[in-house]
């Protein structure tokens, strides 16, 4: 039988003793270390609380602002609409006044323009027509009888300039007024009335005053045509 003293493993026991000593050394904390750990944990908790509190404050502020905006819109909405309505009424009244002024001016000015420019506009239209009907074997030009003494020399001069003097037949027409002209040639004709142009301008303005948009558009297409 082996004696118990000689059956022990002193190396193993020594290693176990060292392990226990290391464990005991690591498991011991000083009071300062414990206080520092508590302080760090407290600070971390405080920071997290601040973050959560800030987020809650932002949400509350947003909700409050949204409520204030809704309340402001509920109060200001009708007022803004009323303001816009008054602004639209003012704009329409101003447009109506401007239109009335334009009509009154045109009613006074257009007859004077017609009187002063009728002959020149008729001659200008005849000049453009001579260029179009250059190749025709004949051209018959009709103007107002009252305008024939003043315009005949100018029209004959235009015909000579276009080498059409021997093909142009110039006549007065009692049905035409100053500013009117009619030209007939081999395969076409032209009719022009400066007085009718002035009348269409006045009619369009008056129709606009009545708000008759379709009539304005129709007259505009007729004038352009």
Catalogue all structural domains in the chain, each as residue range(s) with its CATH number: 88-224 (3.30.2320)
- Comparing CA positions, the residue from 196, 195, 151, 141 lying closest to residue 173 is 141
pLDDT in tens, 10-50: 666 667 677 666 655 555 556 676 667 667 767 776 666 66
Output the CA–CA distances (angstroms, integers) from residue 87 to 82, 84, 92, 176, 210, in the order listed. 9, 5, 9, 49, 21
pLDDT in tens, 174-184: 999 999 999 99
Its pTM surpasses 0.85: no
What does the pLDDT read at residue 26? Answer: 58
What does the pLDDT read at residue 103? Answer: 85
Where are any strands of DSSP class E within the chain? Answer: 139-144, 168-173, 180-185, 188-193
| Ranges of residues in the chain whose predicted pLDDT is under 70 | 1-14, 16, 19-31, 33-35, 37-38, 41, 45-58, 72, 75, 211-225
Alpha-carbon gap, residue 48 to 63, rounded angstroms: 23
- Comparing CA positions, the residue from 191, 176, 183, 193 lying closest to residue 134 is 183
- Comparing CA positions, the residue from 154, 163, 144 lying closest to residue 123 is 154
Name every residue whose Cβ is closer than 8 Å to that of residue 112 and which is 6 or more positions away in sequence.
Answer: none
């Amino acid at each position: 039988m082996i004696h118990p003293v000689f059956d022990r493993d002193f190396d193993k026991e020594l290693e176990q003793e060292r392990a226990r000593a290391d464990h005991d050394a690591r498991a011991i904390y000083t009071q300062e270390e414990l206080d520092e750990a508590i302080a760090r944990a407290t600070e971390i908790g405080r920071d997290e609380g601040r973050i959560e509190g800030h987020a809650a404050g932002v949400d509350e502020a947003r909700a409050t602002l949204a409520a204030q905006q809704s309340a402001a819109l509920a109060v200001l909405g009708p007022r803004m609409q009323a303001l816009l309505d008054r602004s639209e009424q003012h704009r329409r009244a101003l447009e109506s006044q401007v239109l009335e002024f334009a009509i009154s001016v045109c009613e006074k000015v257009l007859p004077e323009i017609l009187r002063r420019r009728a002959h020149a506009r008729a001659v200008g239209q005849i000049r453009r027509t001579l260029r179009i009907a250059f190749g025709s074997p004949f051209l018959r030009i009709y103007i107002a009888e009252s305008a024939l003494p003043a315009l005949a020399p100018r029209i004959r001069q235009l015909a000579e300039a276009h080498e059409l003097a021997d093909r142009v037949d110039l006549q007065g027409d009692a049905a035409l007024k100053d500013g009117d002209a009619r030209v007939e040639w081999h395969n076409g004709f032209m009719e022009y009335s400066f007085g009718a142009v002035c009348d269409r301008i006045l009619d369009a303005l008056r129709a606009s005053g009545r708000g008759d948009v379709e009539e304005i558009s129709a007259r505009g297409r007729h004038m352009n045509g």
